[in-house]
């Protein structure tokens, strides 16, 4: 279906929920990204899903939403004995629901508020366990740990989730670590708890059935409909849409996901939104995102519909909503085949150095040859931190750092051996993975950030990537695949983010031979850890190798502006992968190329016939092209280029 058709279906089931009540001390808006507070009363809002059925002979419609906007207004009796008593609100609190879709409210088409009653709060155990596992896998990292919540929210409620530069270096006490562990568990349960409401004054009996999705795959279309910032102006924000794609599923080895990660940009207030697939089937409910400490990166989380139904069947009587029957799927008789992008992800590897820093790689052949980035193996060339378990921070925004000083080649070789210790690669299949040791075959000393690894042990049935050497058209759809943000401890398969080719930058060949694609810019999100991943087209064929996203001179990462090396520029590597006998094939990649260097330095190169007076950009590009070794990151920058406003930022 086209997106407008999905929108028409979604509008039948999407509602906005408003909860308001007395709040004399102004405490109930804590951990919420927005609220409305007037004269001692706080109002919060979220989105929700209509379930158009009846309780026996009594007309009534049920509505599902997230519990997070209800819980601040629960009575202390219920908060203390959550599972033992019927939920009740504090005196003066009330819940209202606005419907603005195709459902007919009254003879008037003007949306208005309908009173609602809280029926139950329900935990989703499968989703809670999955979310807790993801948060727990990063609990030892201050820079890269995960927590639940919108980046726009204020979390000044007794502890500080963010730390400044000096605090990052200070050790945490045992007590604080324990408190954070408990808090992570509570946040995971809080984010996966839903509220069941009822509208006794209205029954929506004429709405279409909710079709369900049998299984979700990475790269599948998603559409969420909700009310971002709805409490501020419902008429402006109710039933807003956001379109994206399934980025990953958790757990990875299960045919029934407990949690979906969505490559979709949503705003606070959209939690509780129904999420639909490309056939207008309901996929699940949007909840609050995971956000990474320090970077502010957000990953939108969707609670799958089947996980919700499995938890709701206990309190919904058989004649209430026969959701369980509507979500049954004969998995034996309907074999769901992976889409081309999903199949290609079996060619994406997870690479670790000394069990610390991780990145991505692309499997080139069935003999275990892997293409990745040079900055993973030789970070000092790119002013990256050393490969160690406790620090993954970028030390500079400049691609190469020129200097009048050059290190002794023997010293660099010795340093290279240190950093090349304990290289491991995880080869992913559709249902399992295998960890293998690897060694370095080649690291480019030229302008392209590439390296080649070889598995020590070669598993059976490897699935090498299929390359496409044609130049992609600007605006064509692409899928960026890799292990961005989530490292090896999270046990995730590669994630995918979807965008388009923003621009193809070309560089001059030798004199008289025309231009060749040198860089591809895409709008798909690329995050740290995604280095060495593949940019795929809709056929699942690789068109370029991910190297970097962009970073503003002030330090802000721009994940939706990123750069990759076209397959056309990597043809010598793919030729070498055919028999792996002649390393001299790769020598062309080590030769100086001023035009190619200038492209990857984001600097203009000097064209033939230009004025003899050098520009800063042309001097820098020429320098990079001539240097085979560059200084270590700890040496000062002597180029005067520190004032540049935009840099390629290695991942």
Inter-CA distances, 165 with 174, 279, 401, 507, 557, Å: 21, 48, 24, 40, 17
Residue found by looking up tokens 């809709």 in the block: 538
User: What is the pLDDT, as a whole number, of residue 336?
Assistant: 58
The residues that bridge with 298 in the sheet, in sequence order, are 291
**Angle between the 174-191 and 125-136 helix axes, to the nearest 10 degrees?**
150
User: What is the pLDDT, as a whole number, of residue 364?
Assistant: 96
* Domain range summary for the chain, segments of one domain joined by +: 3-127+188-321, 476-569+587-605
Catalytically annotated residue among 449, 468, 544, 649? 449
- Contact assessment for residue 285 and residue 301, using Cβ atoms and an 8 Å cutoff: no
Name the CATH architecture for the domain at 476-569+587-605: Beta Barrel (2.40)
What tens digit of pLDDT does each residue of 377-402 get? 888 777 654 433 333 332 222 232 22
User: What is the pLDDT, as a whole number, of residue 193?
Assistant: 94
Catalytically annotated residue among 375, 420, 527, 541? 375
Residue 595 is a catalytic residue: no
DSSP 530-572: -TT-EEE-TTS-EEEEEEEEEEETTS-EEEEEEEEEEGGGGHH
Give the whole-angstrom CA distance, residue 645 versus residue 397: 10
- Fold adopted by 3-127+188-321: Thrombin, subunit H (2.40.10)
- The larger pLDDT score, comparing residue 101 to residue 352, is at 352
- Contact assessment for residue 101 and residue 13, using Cβ atoms and an 8 Å cutoff: yes
Q: What's the rounded mean pLDDT across residues 254-267?
A: 88
Q: Which residues of 506-536 are buried (b: 16+ CB within 10 A; e: fewer)?
A: bbbeeeeeeebbbbbbbbbbbbbbbbbbbbb
Catalytically annotated residue among 531, 548, 598, 644? 531
Give the whole-angstrom CA distance, residue 524 versus residue 8: 27
Query: Most confidently modeled of 78-82, 105-109, 270-274, 630-634?
Result: 270-274
The residues that bridge with 391 in the sheet, in sequence order, are 388
* Helix ranges, 21-151 (H): 76-80, 125-136
Q: Is the pLDDT confidence value at 537 over 50?
A: yes
- Contact assessment for residue 124 and residue 257, using Cβ atoms and an 8 Å cutoff: no
Is 476-569+587-605 the same fold as 3-127+188-321? yes
**Across the chain, which distance is largest between two alpha carbons, in Å?**
89
Nearest in space to 48 (alpha carbons), one of 36, 61, 57, 60: 61
- Contact assessment for residue 238 and residue 18, using Cβ atoms and an 8 Å cutoff: no
Q: Please give, one letter per residue, the 3-state secondary structure of 468-526.
A: CCCCCCCCCEEEEEECCCCCHHHCCCCEEEEEEEEEEEEEECCCCCCEEEEEEEECCCC
Q: Is the pLDDT confidence value at 201 over 80?
A: no
Q: What's the rounded mean pLDDT across residues 213-219?
A: 81
- Contact assessment for residue 264 and residue 240, using Cβ atoms and an 8 Å cutoff: no
Q: What are phi and psi of 160, to 5 degrees?
A: -110, 110
User: What is the pLDDT, as a whole number, of residue 490?
Assistant: 86
User: What is the pLDDT, as a whole number, of residue 378?
Assistant: 86
Give the whole-angstrom CA distance, residue 297 versus residue 150: 10
Cβ neighbours for 547, distance < 8 A, ≥ 6 positions apart: 373, 375, 449, 531, 563, 564, 565, 648, 650, 651
Residue 375 is a catalytic residue: yes
How crowded is residue 104: how many other Cβ atoms within 10 Å of its Cβ?
A: 13
Q: What are phi and psi of 234, to 5 degrees?
A: -55, -35
β pairing state of 61-66 and 369-372: unpaired
Q: Tell me the whole-structure pTM to 2 decimals.
A: 0.81
**Average pLDDT value for the chain:** 77
Peptide bond between residue 251 and the one before it cis (omega within 30 degrees of 0) = yes
User: What is the pLDDT, as a whole number, of residue 136?
Assistant: 84
Residue 310 is a catalytic residue: no
Q: Is the pLDDT confidence value at 149 over 70?
A: yes
């Amino acid at each position: 279906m086209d997106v407008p058709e999905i929108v028409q279906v979604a509008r039948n089931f999407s509602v906005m929920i408003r909860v308001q009540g007395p709040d004399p001390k102004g405490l109930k808006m804590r951990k919420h990204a927005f609220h409305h507070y007037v004269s001692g009363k706080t109002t919060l809002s979220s989105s929700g899903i209509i379930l158009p059925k009846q309780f026996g002979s009594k007309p009534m419609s049920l509505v599902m939403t997230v519990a997070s906007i209800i819980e601040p207004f629960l009575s202390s009796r219920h908060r203390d004995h959550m599972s033992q008593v019927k939920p009740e609100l504090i005196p003066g609190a009330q819940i209202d629901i606005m419907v603005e879709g195709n459902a007919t409210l009254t003879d008037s088409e003007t949306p208005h508020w309908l009173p609602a009653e809280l029926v139950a709060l329900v935990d989703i155990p499968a989703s809670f366990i999955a979310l807790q596992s993801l948060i727990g896998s990063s609990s030892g990292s201050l820079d890269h740990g995960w927590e639940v919540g919108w980046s726009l929210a204020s979390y000044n409620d007794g502890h500080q989730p963010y730390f400044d530069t000096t605090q990052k270096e200070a050790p945490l006490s045992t007590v604080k670590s324990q408190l954070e562990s408990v808090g992570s568990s509570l946040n995971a349960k809080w984010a996966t708890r839903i509220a069941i409401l009822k509208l006794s004054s209205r029954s929506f009996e004429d709405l279409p059935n909710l079709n369900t999705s049998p299984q979700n795959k990475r790269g599948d279309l998603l559409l969420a409909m909700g009310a971002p910032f709805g409490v501020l102006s419902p008429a402006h924000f109710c039933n807003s849409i956001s379109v994206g794609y399934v980025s990953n599923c958790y757990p990875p080895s299960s045919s029934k996901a407990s949690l979906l990660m969505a490559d979709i940009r949503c705003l606070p207030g959209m939690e509780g939104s129904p999420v639909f697939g490309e056939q207008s089937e309901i996929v699940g409910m949007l909840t609050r995102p995971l956000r990474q400490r320090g970077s502010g990166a957000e990953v939108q989380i969707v609670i799958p519909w089947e996980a919700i139904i499995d938890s709701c069947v206990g309190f919904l009587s058989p004649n209430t909503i026969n959701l369980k029957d509507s979500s049954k799927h004969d998995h034996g008789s309907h074999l769901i085949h992976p889409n081309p992008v999903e199949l290609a992800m079996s060619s994406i590897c997870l690479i670790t150095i000394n069990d610390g820093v991780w990145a991505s790689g692309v499997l080139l052949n069935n003999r275990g040859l892997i293409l990745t980035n040079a900055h993973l193996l030789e970070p000092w060339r790119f002013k990256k931190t050393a490969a160690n378990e406790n620090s993954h921070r970028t030390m500079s925004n400049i691609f190469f750092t020129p200097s009048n000083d050059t290190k002794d080649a023997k010293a660099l070789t010795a340093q290279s051996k240190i950093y090349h210790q304990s290289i491991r690669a995880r080869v992913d299949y559709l249902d399992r993975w295998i960890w293998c040791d690897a060694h370095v075959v080649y690291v480019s000393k030229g302008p392209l950030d590439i390296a080649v690894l070889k598995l020590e042990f070669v598993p059976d049935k490897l699935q090498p990537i299929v390359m496409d050497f044609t130049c992609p058209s600007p605006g064509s759809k692409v899928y960026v695949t890799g292990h961005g943000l989530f490292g090896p401890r999270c046990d995730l398969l590669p994630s995918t983010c979807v965008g388009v080719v923003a621009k193809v930058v070309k560089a001059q060949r030798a004199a008289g031979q025309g231009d060749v694609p040198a860089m591809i810019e895409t709008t798909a999100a690329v995050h740290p850890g995604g280095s060495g991943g593949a940019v795929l087209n809709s056929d699942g064929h690789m068109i370029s190798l991910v190297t970097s996203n962009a970073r503003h001179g002030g330090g802000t990462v721009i994940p939706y502006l990123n750069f990759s090396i076209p397959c056309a520029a990597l043809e010598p590597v793919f030729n070498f992968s055919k028999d792996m006998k002649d390393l001299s094939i790769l020598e062309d990649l080590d030769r100086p190329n001023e035009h190619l260097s200038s492209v990857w330095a984001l600097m203009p190169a000097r064209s033939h016939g230009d004025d003899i007076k050098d520009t800063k950009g042309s001097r820098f590009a020429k320098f990079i092209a001539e240097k085979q070794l560059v200084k270590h990151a700890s040496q000062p920058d002597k180029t005067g280029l520190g004032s540049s406003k935009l840099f390629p930022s290695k991942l």
